[in-house]
Structure formats: C-alpha cells, structure tokens
C-alpha cells in the first residue's frame, strides 16, 4: 500500500512538472518551443549526478566498513544514475539538432558525459564478470570510486573550456541564467525527478538485497 | 508550433526510458521471488 502511494505521488509530481515545463514556463524568444526540453534534460542530468554521488559515498563506505548494504546501495544508485544519464544523452541530441544543426559534437561537456555513461556501464559489466560476492563488491566499489572522478569533469567542462554546449545556467558568469519563472519550473522538475530517483533507487535496492539473501542462502546450504 | 514533434519525441522517449527501467526492475524482482520460493521448496524436500 505504501509503495502504491509512493508511485502515485511520484507520478503526480512528474505530471505537474511536465505540465509546468510545457505550459507554464514562458517560451524562449530565440529557441521557441524546443527549449522546453531543458526542463527534462537538465533535471535528469542533475538527478543522475546526484545518484552517482550516492553511489560514490556507498562505495567509499563499502571499502571502509565492508558491509553488504553499502555494496547494494552502490550498485543500485549507479544503475539508477545510468538511467538518468541515458535520458540526458538521448534528449540532448533531440534538442541540439534543430538548434545547432547537428545531432552531436565531441565537445568537452558532451564527451565527458558520454565517458561518464561508459564508465558506469563498465562498472555494471565488471560486476557480472566476478562470481565471488566479497571480491565482486570490493573491486566494483574501487572501480566506482574511480568512475566518480569524471563527475567533477562533467560539472566543470562548460566552465573550464569553450564548448558548443551552452554555458552554465547556475553558478555561471554574470548575465547568464534563466528567467525567474523558468528557474522555478526547473527546480520543481528537479524535485520531481529526485522523487522518481528515490522510487527507482528503493526498488532497485530491494532487488539487490534479495539477491544478497539468495547468495547467502546458497552458501549456507552448500556448507550444510 | 515549430519543433513540436521534437519536443514531443524528447518527452515521450525520456518518460519511456524511466518506465521501461521501472518495469525491468519489477520483473527481475518477481523472477527472484520465484527463485527464492523454488530454492526454499527444493531445500525443504531435500531435508
């Protein structure tokens, strides 16, 4: 019952966010309607980076404490972050094509985001290659800590280098930014996306915890 | 209404990706629950 309520709240938040993004936020004078992808694209990017940060903290805690729950959280947050980053990598080119005239360019922001995506795919693949649970958890936690190094690069790429990608809309240069109503809609959408991340992360964590239980049961029965 | 189709496509694909992920997690969870039941039954029969 609690889960149904949680899903309902997330769906309502996302519905309200999409309505605000498509109908309440003012139309951009230069780009017209297409800029409204920003609310999905940027909110997904911020949420994906939040999930990778959770994964990073969980990986550090696993290396320190060696408790399975941190391994479960690490992989769950990594997979959830990967889903949000996939949305970023798909919606970006759909937005770029009408505005830039190209689907993709290898600039610092796009490349570092794509590398981030590949790093977390590698993290998940690594886990499928190691059968022994403790060894798998430790090696993937170490790899997850290494993968997170790319996150500050993604954040800084549009600040440190001249890129095709637009300049930052928060913490950018003077004069950069959005209309106040656009900010409100963007932050609401981010809140809705964080709620979605919490839902997906919770479901994924429960799955990983069940897998851990199955592995423990199998080991106990093998010994018996 | 220029680029309405691209805007529509971006939102549909975006929500679609989240929905498909949610479904795959639900399916994997259901499959694992079945496996746990199967393991418990085979273990009880072996006792």
pLDDT at A166: 83
Closest-CA distance of chain A to residue B40, Å: 9
Count of CB atoms situated within 10 Å of the CB of B10:
23
DSSP chain A: -HHHHHHHHHHHHHHHHHHIIIIISPPBTTTBGGGGHHHHHHHHHHHHHHHHHHHHHHHHHHHHH--HHHHHHHHHHHHHHHHHHHHHHHHHHHHHHHHHSSS----HHHHHHHHHHHHHHHHHHHHHH--SHHHHHHHHHHHHHHHTTHHHHHHHHHHHS--SSPPPSSS-STT-S--HHHHHHHHHHHHHHHHHHHHHHHHHHHHHHHHHHHHHHHHHHHH-
Q: What is the pLDDT of residues B1-47, one digit of tens each?
A: 788 999 999 999 999 999 999 999 999 999 999 988 988 888 888 76
Contact between residue A139 and residue A84 where contact means Cβ atoms under 8 Å apart: no
> Does the interface ipTM go beyond 0.90?
yes
Tell me if chain B has a CB within 8 Å of the CB of A66.
no
CA A210, A54, A207 angle in degrees (round to 5)? Answer: 15
Residue A41 to residue A206: CA distance in whole angstroms: 28
Of B10, B29, B33, the CB nearest to A94: B10
**Which residue is closest to B46 within chain A, CA to CA?**
A221
Chain B residues near residue A87 by CB distance under 8 angstroms? 13-14, 17-18
Angle at which helices A68-100 and A133-147 cross, to 10°: 40
CA A201, B21, A89 angle in degrees (round to 5)? Answer: 95
A128 forms bridges with which residues in the sheet? none
Chain-chain contact of B21 with A200 (C-beta, under 8 angstroms): yes
**Which residue is closest to B44 within chain A, CA to CA?**
A221
Chain-chain contact of A83 with B36 (C-beta, under 8 angstroms): no
| Secondary structure element (H or E) that encloses residue B35, with its range | helix B4-46
Of A44, A98, A206, the CB nearest to B29: A206
Of A18, A94, A206, the CB nearest to B6: A94
Tell me if chain B has a CB within 8 Å of the CB of A108.
no
pLDDT at A220: 82
pLDDT at A177: 76
- Token pair for A154: 């993604």
| Number of CB pairs, chain A paired with chain B, less than 8 A apart | 82
Tens digit of pLDDT per residue, chain A (224 long)? 788 999 999 999 999 999 999 999 999 888 999 999 999 999 999 999 999 999 999 999 999 999 999 999 999 999 999 999 999 999 999 999 999 999 999 999 999 999 999 999 999 999 999 999 999 999 999 999 999 999 999 999 988 888 888 887 776 676 677 888 999 999 999 999 999 999 999 999 999 999 998 888 888 887 76
pLDDT at A175: 67
């Amino acid at each position: 019952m609690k889960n149904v309520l949680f899903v309902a709240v997330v769906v309502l938040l996302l519905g309200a966010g999409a309505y605000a993004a498509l109908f309440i936020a003012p139309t951009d004078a230069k780009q017209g309607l297409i800029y409204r992808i920003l609310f999905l694209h940027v909110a997904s990017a911020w949420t994906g980076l939040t999930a990778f940060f959770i994964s990073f903290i969980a990986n550090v805690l696993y290396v320190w404490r060696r408790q399975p729950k941190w391994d479960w959280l690490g992989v769950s947050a990594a997979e959830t972050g990967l889903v949000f980053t996939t949305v970023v990598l798909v919606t970006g080119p759909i937005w770029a094509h009408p505005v830039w005239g190209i689907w993709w360019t290898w600039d610092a922001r796009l490349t570092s985001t794509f590398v981030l995506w590949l790093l977390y795919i590698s993290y998940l693949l690594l886990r499928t290659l190691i059968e022994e649970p403790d060894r798998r958890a430790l090696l993937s936690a170490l790899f997850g800590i290494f993968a997170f190094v790319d996150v500050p690069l993604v954040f800084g790429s549009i600040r440190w280098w001249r890129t095709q990608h637009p300049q930052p809309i928060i913490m950018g240069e003077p004069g950069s930014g959005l209309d106040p109503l656009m900010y409100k809609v963007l932050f609401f959408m981010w809140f809705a996306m964080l709620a979605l991340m919490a839902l997906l992360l919770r479901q994924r964590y429960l799955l990983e915890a069940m897998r851990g239980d199955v592995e423990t049961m199998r080991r106990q029965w093998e010994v018996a | 209404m220029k680029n309405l189709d691209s805007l529509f496509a971006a939102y549909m694909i975006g929500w679609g990706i989240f929905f498909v992920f949610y479904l795959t997690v639900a399916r994997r969870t259901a499959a694992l629950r079945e496996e746990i039941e199967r393991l418990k039954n085979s273990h009880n029969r072996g006792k």
